[in-house]
Amino acid sequence: MSTLILFLPPTLPGPSTTYSYTLTANGHIAIRHDSAPAALLPEPTRPGGEVVAVVPARALSWQRVQLPPGLPIGPGHQTPRLRLALEGLLEDRVLDDAAQLHFALQPGAAGDGAVWVAVCDRAWLRENLQALEAAGRRVTRVVPEFAPGPTDSGGPELCALGTPEEPYLVITGQGAELGVTVMPLTPMALTLVRLGALGSGGTPVTDEQQPPLVLRAEPSVAALAERTLGQRVALHTASQRALDAARSDWDLAQFDLASSGSTRALRKAGTTLSALLNAPQWRAARWGAAVLVVAHIVGLNAWAWQERQALADKQASVRGMLTQTFPQVKVVVDAPVQMERELALLRQAAGGVSARDLEPMLAAAGAALPDGRMPTSIEYTPGELRLRGLDMNSDEEAALLARLQTSGYQARPEDGSLLLRTEGNP
């Protein structure tokens, strides 16, 4: 699925606000990265594409809470009651008025354990989303730049961001709860991470227990990060962060910013289909499906060819029987009809009669008529006999039709007469 991924600015939107964006055709490779005002942002390149807004790490606060037991928290249960419960739990943890903040629960959150809650300024998020919608770029999903949870390396990962004048460090996979921490870029940050002091109660760990530390940095602060932290860092661009964020399961558009259930279902189906069509981990499955489809097409074509050959053989056999039995037939158009006609000619030449002739039809009608019933007139054409003037009740008529059916004739009342035809005669 084609996706436009854009970073929300740290301030309220205005006429001169620009958005850093990444455009991708498959969710894994960026085809364009730039900045532009909302009205000049590109559109997804394919029908059904989505617009994903990324909330910067410094705009979010992460809180770990234990919800009251029995409180439903699924996507269909984001009610004012749940909102009030979160306000009560977080009132003493946040600096701003809880009523002015936006809350979003972690994906798959359950009410029987601690859950992560993303917190940001509600007015800031809503106005940015409204500005994008007014510019024709309706956001279908809102994701965090960094989210709690296990990292690819299995240990804490550090990413240096910002500018040389205002650098900062984002630590993911930190502590026992695998949280997200934002702090200034200082030598002390690396020391605290190595000691396991952040998010784990300050309990130190040995070098053997500590997995290798992953350090990344934006190009603008890479050199500063290497000098400050004292080791080499890997470059990690904003475009790469945007792609990583868009692939997460998070959607911060909850409560009053939530999409409808059908929209969520369509978006999830589109994301799943995009992953199946483009994600590297599904490459083997895609090849297998393609091989299976090709094998079925080849098999169906082979089966159809065999059926056509069998039908052609049967038709050739019927034509051969006709020409061998009646050598005078030179051109075969409809073998069964031509064979029936030739047989009729032979019977006529030999003086024989068939079921279509007058005598057998009269004999069958006379044997089937009730006693005392005689027609007043008879009309005959080859294969068809019409008897007029028969006065029969419904029971007699039903018995007559049944007896004629047994004799191999079709019969039906028609315009006050009885019409007889041979079986198979239209």
Q: H/E/C letters for each residue in 228-270?
A: HHCCCCEECCHHHHHHHHHCCCCCCCCHHHCCCHHHHHHHHHH
Residues 331 and 363 in one domain: no
Q: Mean pLDDT check: name the lowest of 22-26, 180-184, 323-327.
A: 323-327
Does one domain contain both 307 and 324? Answer: yes
Q: Let me know: does 215 contact 27? Beta carbons within 8 Å.
A: no
Look up residue 303 and give its DSSP letter.
Answer: H
Distance, CA of 146 to CA of 168 (rounded, Å): 14
pTM of the model: 0.60
The span from the CA of 226 to the CA of 232, in Å, is 5
Say if 34 falls within a structural domain: no
Q: Is 174 helix (H, G, I), strand (E, B) or coil?
A: strand
Q: What is the pLDDT of residues 315-352, one digit of tens each?
A: 888 888 888 888 888 788 788 888 877 777 777 677 66
Given 181, 205, 238, the domain boundary residue is 238
**Of 86, 67, 89, 55, residue with least CA distance to 252:** 55
Place of tokens 């770029």: 137
Put the strands of the sheet holding 101-105 in their side by side order: 61-66, 114-121, 101-105
Task: Please give the pLDDT value at position 199.
Answer: 44
> Where a domain ends, among 238, 258, 274?
238
Phi, psi dihedrals of residue 166, rounded to the nearest 5°: -140, 70
The answer to whether residue 23 is domain-embedded is no
Arithmetic mean of pLDDT over the chain: 83
pLDDT of residue 329: 81
Residue 27 structure tokens: 């969710």
User: Does residue 271 fall inside a structural domain?
Assistant: no
User: Is residue 10 assigned to a domain?
Assistant: no
Position 128 pLDDT exceeds 90: yes
Which residue(s) pair with 181 in the sheet?
A: 171
Pairing between β-strand 114-121 and β-strand 384-388 as defined by DSSP bridges: unpaired
Residue 94 has a pLDDT of 87
Listed residues 297, 324, 352: the one ending a domain: 352
φ, ψ of residue 119 in degrees (nearest 5) = -125, 130
The whole domain housing 408 covers 358-422
Give the pLDDT confidence score for residue 142 in this predicted structure.
95
Does residue 261 have a pLDDT over 50? no
φ and ψ at 130, to 5 degrees?
-70, -35
The answer on 211 and 170 residing in a single domain is: yes
| 310 within some domain | yes
Residue 45 within any structural domain of the chain? no
Are residues 159 and 216 located together in one domain of the fold?
A: yes
Determine, yes or no, domain membership for 49.
no
Q: Which amino acid is at 124?
A: W
Residue 297: inside a domain, yes or no?
A: yes
Q: Do 330 and 348 share a domain, yes or no?
A: yes
One domain for residues 375 and 415? yes
Check which CATH number belongs to the domain holding 379 and give it: 3.30.1360.100
User: What pLDDT is recorded for position 270?
Assistant: 57
> Which tens digits make up the pLDDT trace of 350-407?
766 677 777 888 888 888 888 777 888 888 887 788 888 877 788 888 888 888 888 8
Indicate whether 380 and 399 sit together in one domain: yes
**pLDDT given at position 280:** 67
If asked whether residues 232 and 152 sit together in one domain, one would say yes
Give yes or no: residues 340 and 363 share one domain: no
The total number of structural domains that make up the chain: 3
